[in-house]
Amino acid sequence: MNDCVLRFDAEKAREACTDILAALSQPGNAERLARARELAGTDMVKVMREVFPIVTQIQLEVIQRFGFPGDGEGAAQFLQLVRSLEKEDGEVGRLSDQLRAHFLPPMTAPIHSIPASSTPQCNGASQP
């Protein structure tokens, strides 16, 4: 781990997360992400194939400015340090949540229909 990474504190985490969010919002990147999200919908496999690589590439470009390697190892180091700092600094946690939202599709709870015959009755008797 290089010296810049060793000095990565909550202030640097806030700055890095803010820079990543800004990069994700830049017009060219935002357009690429919008197309990828539209293509993927809420299908997690498609999100991993279409959206995840774009977000990861943008994140890797930014974290290099903070001393992290621009590869999977650097991304893992960054994530680990940010996660540890979330507990100390609420703003880091808030920004990290915003970043995480870029990686994951909007999720809705599945609606399961339960047949009426399998619904437990509340008649005071215990069921075996």
At 74, is the pLDDT very low, low, confident or very high (cuts 50, 70, 90)?
very high
Beta-carbon contacts of 13 under 8 Å, excluding residues fewer than 6 positions away, are 81, 82, 85, 89, 92, 95
pLDDT at 42: 85
Residue 120 has pLDDT above 70, yes or no: no
pLDDT of residue 29: 97
The tokens for 102 are 């870029």
CA torsion 88-14-54-24 (nearest 10°) is 140
pLDDT category of residue 44 using cuts at 50, 70 and 90 = confident
CB 82 within 8 A of CB 96: yes
Which of the pair, 104 or 79, is modelled with greater confidence?
79
CA–CA separation, 103 vs 24, rounded Å?
Answer: 11
**Mean pLDDT of the 62-77 span:** 95
First to last CA, the chain: 58
76/1 Cα distance (integer angstroms): 12
Q: Which residues of 77-111 are buried (b: 16+ CB within 10 A; e: fewer)?
A: bbbebbeebbeebeebbebbeebeebeebeeeeee
pLDDT over 90 (residue 57): yes
